[in-house]
Amino acid sequence: MHSGLRLFSGGLRTLLFGALLTAGAMSNTGCSLFGGDDDEPDAPVELPDFKSTLKIKKVWSAGLGDETEFLRLALAPASDGSRIFAAANDGRVSAFDALKGKRLWLSKTELPLSGGPATDGKVVALGTSNGEVITIDADDGKELWRKSLSSEVLAAPALAPGLVLVRTVDGKLTALDVADGTQRWFVQQNMPRLTVRGTGSPVVVGNVVVCGFDNGKLAAYELSDGTPAWDTLLDPPAGRNEIERLADINATVLSVGEDIYVLGYRGQTTAVALESGQSLWSQDVAGYGGLATDLENVYISGTGSQLYALLRQTGSELWKHELLKNRDITGPTAWQNSVVVGDFEGYLHFFDAATGKPQARVRFDSSRVTSAPLVVNDLLYVQSDGGKLAAFRQVVKQ
Three-state secondary structure of 130-157: CCEEEEEECCCCCEEEEEECCCCCCCCC
Average pLDDT, the chain: 86
- Contact in structure between 230 and 219 (CB atoms under 8 Å): yes
Task: Quickly list DSSP for 227-273.
Answer: -EEEEEE-S---SSSTTTT-----SPPEEETTEEEEE-SSS-EEEEE
Window from 34-43, 58-67, 116-125, 351-360 with minimum mean pLDDT: 34-43
pLDDT score recorded for residue 94: 98
Tell me: pLDDT of 30 over 80: no
Residue 71 has what pLDDT? Answer: 60
Q: Where are the domains of the chain?
A: 51-72+331-398
pLDDT of 196 over the 60 cut: yes
Categorize the per-residue pLDDT at 244 as very low, low, confident or very high, splitting at 50, 70 and 90: low
CB 25 within 8 A of CB 241: yes
- Residue 18's pLDDT band, with cuts at 50, 70 and 90, is very low
pLDDT of residue 351: 98
Query: In this structure, what is the dihedral angle of CA atoms 322, 326, 330, 334, given to the nearest 10 degrees?
Result: 0
pTM value > 0.75: yes
Q: Which pLDDT value is given to residue 36?
A: 42
Q: At a CB cut-off of 8 Å and minimum separation 6, what does 68 contact?
A: 75, 88, 89, 367, 385, 386, 387
pLDDT tens figures, 43-82: 999 998 999 999 999 999 999 988 776 566 779 999 999 9
What mean pLDDT is predicted for residues 221-238? 89
Out of 68-82, 83-97, 233-247, the most confident range is 83-97
Mean pLDDT over 282-287 rounds to 89
**CATH number of the domain at 51-72+331-398, please?**
2.40.10.480
Closest to 149 in 3D by CA, of 175, 123, 125? 175
Give the rounded percent of residues in the chain with a pLDDT score beyond 90: 71
What is the torsion angle, in degrees rounded to the nearest 10, for the CA atoms of residue 297, residue 298, residue 303 and residue 306? 20
Q: What is the pLDDT of residue 180?
A: 97
pLDDT at 175 over 50: yes
Q: Which of 267-271, 291-295, 335-339 has the lowest mean pLDDT?
A: 267-271
